[in-house]
Amino acid sequence: MVDQELTDIEIIELFNSEGKQQDAFRLIMSRYKERLYWHIRKIVVTHDDADDALQNCFIKIWQNLGGFQGNSALYTWLYRIATNEALTLLKKKKKVSQYSINDEDNNHGDALKSDPYFDGNDLQLKLQQAIATLPDKQRIIFNLKYFEEMKYQEISEITDTSIGSLKASYHHATKKIEAFLKENIE
């Protein structure tokens, strides 16, 4: 097996060298699968959806890694793909739920309650319900800043949004969540 201590750039070079593609890709998956999974999971909420989106995400990475220019860090590029895949999955689900009799399909809060892979306490459930009330993009920005503790510059590269807009968006998201928690706790 190839050395685990390779840098991202070295892994990409390995990926582009003949006969080493699969080894290099296994290293990328090993290094990023959990971070990307949790990022996707917080957007799509349920484990099944997160698993689908993560698999689609790695297929896209496999198909496009050879053309990665290195203009940004590898992980921001990976997060960008993961974000797009999560949003694509949500859009598909919204389309399906338009024809569904069950309105709960579209409600993240209710989806959480029925998800066997959520064991958060009441406070965590309330927080997720509050996050679920945010628009998609605001939710992504909040997750990246609050949970992943990313810098605005990194979030800007992932979401293709100016730092000023990100700051405003995160501020609004925080206020909405705080208001929701204030209303629903106790």
Partner 1 sequence: MKEENNILNSIKKQAPSAGFKVPDNYFDSFEDKMMDKIIAEEKSTPKKSILIMMKPWLSLAAMMIFIAMAYYSIPYFTAKNTNLAYNTEEVSLDFLASRLNETDIIDFIVEEDNSPIFEELETNQNILEGLSIEDVESLVIF
Q: Given the rule CB under 8 A, which residues bind partner 1?
A: 22, 25-26, 29-30, 33-34, 37-38, 41-42, 47, 51, 55, 58-59, 62, 117-121, 123-125, 127-128, 146-147, 174, 177-178, 181-182, 185
CB of 12 to partner 1, least distance (A): 17
The CA-CA-CA angle for residues 7, 13, 18, to 5°, reads 140
Q: Which CB sits closer to partner 1, 100 or 175?
A: 175
Q: Beta-carbon neighbour count of residue 152 at 10 Å?
A: 18
CB of 101 to partner 1, least distance (A): 28
CB of 125 to partner 1, least distance (A): 7
Q: Which CB sits closer to partner 1, 100 or 147?
A: 147
What is the C-alpha separation between 124 and 13, in angstroms, rounded? 42
Q: Which CB sits closer to partner 1, 5 or 122?
A: 122
Q: Which CB sits closer to partner 1, 38 or 68?
A: 38
The residue count of the chain comes to 186
4 class by beta-carbon count within 10 Å (0-12 exposed, 13-18 middle, 19+ buried)? exposed
Q: How far is CA 89 from CA 57, 92, 96, 136, in A?
A: 11, 5, 11, 12
CB of 80 to partner 1, least distance (A): 19
